[in-house]
């Protein structure tokens, strides 16, 4: 996997983040939904902003096969940041974790410290109504 701060992600990593198969991501590339790039090692990849856009589109698709999985109240969901809206005090961070859209409110300082921006991989920790966003180290 490329460094988490990289702007391009291997297609297998993108598939995991989107909750789809590698083949689905390849089909989307073939359909022109995004233009693949290459990692430094030469593997096919997707730019972080394209991945964020696809994640947003995918999260809004109707569910099939019986709906979302059952999850406990203490979940850590790895996903991709799709939007960050900040003012001088607060930030609203939106993520897509597979087919799920997660929104977290935090201080602008925290969002800056975490380097949150569309295309960044992060983990949402959900307990009750609180969402804590972490980035891998």
- The Cα–Cα gap between 105 and 130 comes to 9
Total of domains in the chain: 2
- The Cα–Cα gap between 29 and 68 comes to 25
Give domain status of residue 3, yes or no.
no
Radius of gyration of the chain (CA): 15
In this structure, the number of other CB atoms found within 10 A of the CB of residue 52 comes to 24
Task: Name the E strands within 4-74.
Answer: 8-10, 37-38, 44-47
Q: Are 54 and 28 in contact (CB under 8 A)?
A: yes
- The Cα–Cα gap between 74 and 54 comes to 26
Give domain status of residue 79, yes or no.
yes
Is the model's pTM score more than 0.85?
A: no
pLDDT (tens place) for every residue of the chain, 137 residues total: 433 445 889 999 998 888 888 898 999 999 999 999 998 888 899 999 999 888 888 775 444 444 444 444 457 788 999 999 999 999 999 999 888 899 999 999 999 999 999 999 998 987 766 677 888 87
Give domain status of residue 83, yes or no.
yes
- 109: containing domain: 75-134
CATH label of the domain that carries residue 113: 2.40.50.100
């Amino acid at each position: 996997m490329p460094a988490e701060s990289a702007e391009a992600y291997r297609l297998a990593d993108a598939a995991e983040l989107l909750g789809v198969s590698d083949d689905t991501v390849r089909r989307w590339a073939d359909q022109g939904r995004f233009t693949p790039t290459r990692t430094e090692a030469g593997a096919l990849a997707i730019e972080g902003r394209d991945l964020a856009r696809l994640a947003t589109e995918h999260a809004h698709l109707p569910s099939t096969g019986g709906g979302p999985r059952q999850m406990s109240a203490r979940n850590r969901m790895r996903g991709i940041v799709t939007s960050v809206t900040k003012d001088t005090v607060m930030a609203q961070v939106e993520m897509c974790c597979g087919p799920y859209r997660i929104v977290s409110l935090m201080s602008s300082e925290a969002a800056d410290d975490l380097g949150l921006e569309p295309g960044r991989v992060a983990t949402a920790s959900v307990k009750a109504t609180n969402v804590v966003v972490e980035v891998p180290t």
